[in-house]
Amino acid sequence: MDTLSTAWAVTRTVAGAVWQLVWWTLRSWRLLLACAVLGNVLLILDFEVAGHAVIWCVPAFSLLRALWSAVHPMTYETVLGGPIRRRGWRRHLRKQWPKIADRCGLTLTTDDARVIPRLRRVRADGNTLTFQVRARVGHTVDDLTNAAEAIATSMGAEAVETRRLGAGWLELSLTMRELLHVPTLPTIPDAIETRAVTLGRTADGSPWRLNLAARHTLVVGRSGSGKGSIFWGIAGNLAPAAHAGMARLWGVDLKGGVEVAVGSPMFSHVAMNEADAVRLLRDLHRVIVDRQSVMRGLSRTFTPTPGDPVHVLMIDELAVLTAYASKDVVNEAANLLKLILTQGRAFGVMVVAFVQDPRKETVGMRDLFTQTIALRLASAAETRMVLGDGMAALAPAHHITPTMPGAGYLVGDDGHIERVRADYWADDFIRMVAATYPAPPAPPVPTESDTGSPAGDALQAEAPGETVGRAPRPRPRTPRKRSPRKTTTAASTEPGAEVA
């Protein structure tokens, strides 16, 4: 079996090298023709060596490339293959730009001329081709943005990202070669990080750092889209900080605790049923209220120290809590969560929530999350629902294939878009990280009497964003006295304007 697979691998490599030799030689047919003519002239003039050298230089160079790429693809790619390919992308774009712009509907016809958007700063790095385009009079940057997908397709790119540069300029970054199709595994985290974590790679192959400081993150993706990788990427990378008392992880998993249970030692507080979840949210809210009273007048930004950690609430399947649980739980949990989302950031309390179903009614508080990661979604409508109008073209999460779990688009708090793929966290690896960095025993949560924080149904009366300092508990309701109903006309809306 081993001999067979080795023979198959060798045959494939040789066939690939032969194909490349032929393709690279014939692709530059103009040069090949010129060399053949010049070489024959030299032969006729009796310069035999020079004549043969000129005739065979193109096939010889192709042969060298084919052999090098087959024998040592890594060095070939770095030294020769990559630079040649990137030069080809740049040349192709510059040469074809008038045609591409025209076909993508960006040509403006005036009385005496046809004008296309100006192209400048064409650069190629790694697997990315980046260039800037200037809108002409009569066009807007939005017109250019709308044409981005068509431009990318005409260049044979895998994906496109756009960035508005202001005053009519748009920057396009085309991913010319897909680097995210190969899954990657994380390394054991060892740094104490509370502001950002490394979750995987971005489209250009650089590490994907997710900023957490003062941000709430919503992760949306269909079942099997790889939400677990992001959940454990965040929890696992924060585990050393949690172990050192610089971060505290709170986990809510109402899908029977299946997700959180794998690495539960990393968490200081875990809720796996509805009643515990509400209790946990109340406790976390008290932490915020407690910090509000401590920090009031002293500082406006929270800096974690050992013993005074950042708190990260991780909710697996948010919709169970905010839509599918019993009505009382949904109401109270939604109100508590809104308070935490609106008040927590400045006080070192961050929320990371995961949701499968992006319909409006399941995540009513979507706007309170400051950054969103859209993994594979079912349709363009879902992408728009999750990321906002106009985003289906810029961050087409519905085009992500099921063969790339963990891949998605991050839309940051400043609107920038990144195509990313998370490392895959296997169960055994999660267990190992949890065993290496268990959370220390959690100190008691501030009680209601410490903070004066209203709990439970008292919160339902408050609007999100209001300071929950010492709000009074609601008084028991007494029935209102009703006076006999009197007939009124539409015009008589002022008190006392009754008509008999």
Ligand X SMILES: Nc1ncnc2c1ncn2[C@@H]1O[C@H](COP(=O)(O)OP(=O)(O)OP(=O)(O)O)[C@@H](O)[C@H]1O
189 versus 454: smaller Cβ distance to ligand X:
189
State in angstroms the smallest separation of the CB of 125 from ligand X: 25
Query: Does 344 show up as a binding residue in the annotation?
Result: no
83 versus 402: smaller Cβ distance to ligand X:
402
181 versus 470: smaller Cβ distance to ligand X:
181
State in angstroms the smallest separation of the CB of 223 from ligand X: 3
**How many other C-beta atoms lie within 10 A of the C-beta of residue 229?**
25
State in angstroms the smallest separation of the CB of 362 from ligand X: 13
Q: Which residues pair with 313 in a beta bridge?
A: 250, 351
> How many helices and strands (H and E) does the chain possess?
16, 16
For residues 337, 339, 340, 343, the Cα torsion angle rounded to the nearest 10 degrees is 160
143 versus 158: smaller Cβ distance to ligand X:
158
Whole-number CA gyration radius for the chain:
31
355 versus 391: smaller Cβ distance to ligand X:
355
183 versus 438: smaller Cβ distance to ligand X:
183
Q: Give the helix ranges, DSSP H, for 28-158.
A: 29-44, 48-71, 73-76, 82-103, 141-154
Query: Does 226 show up as a binding residue in the annotation?
Result: yes
Q: Which amino acid is at 100?
A: I
Q: Which residues pair with 408 in a beta bridge?
A: 420
Q: Is 487 helix (H, G, I), strand (E, B) or coil?
A: coil
81 versus 183: smaller Cβ distance to ligand X:
183
Q: Is 166 helix (H, G, I), strand (E, B) or coil?
A: strand
Comparing CA positions, the residue from 131, 164, 221, 215 lying closest to residue 421 is 221
139 versus 398: smaller Cβ distance to ligand X:
398
| Strand stretches in 233-363, DSSP E | 247-253, 269-271, 310-316, 349-355
Cα–chain-centroid distance for residue 379? 17
Q: Summarize as ranges the residues that interact with ligand X (CB under 6 A).
A: 183, 221, 223-229, 356, 405-406, 422-424
**How many other C-beta atoms lie within 10 A of the C-beta of residue 357?**
18
State in angstroms the smallest separation of the CB of 277 from ligand X: 18
State in angstroms the smallest separation of the CB of 325 from ligand X: 17
CA distance 159 to 332: 42
**In this chain, which residue has its C-beta nearest to ligand X?**
406
State in angstroms the smallest separation of the CB of 230 from ligand X: 8
State in angstroms the smallest separation of the CB of 233 from ligand X: 8
Helix or strand holding residue 109 (H, E): strand 108-109
Query: Does 222 show up as a binding residue in the annotation?
Result: yes
State in angstroms the smallest separation of the CB of 181 from ligand X: 10
CA separation, residue 328 to residues 115, 321, 340, 362 (Å): 62, 11, 18, 15
- Tokens 């730009």 sit at which residue? 97
Q: Is 75 helix (H, G, I), strand (E, B) or coil?
A: helix
Query: Does 224 show up as a binding residue in the annotation?
Result: yes
CA distance 467 to 443: 25
Annotated binding site for ATP: 221-228
Annotated binding site: 221-228
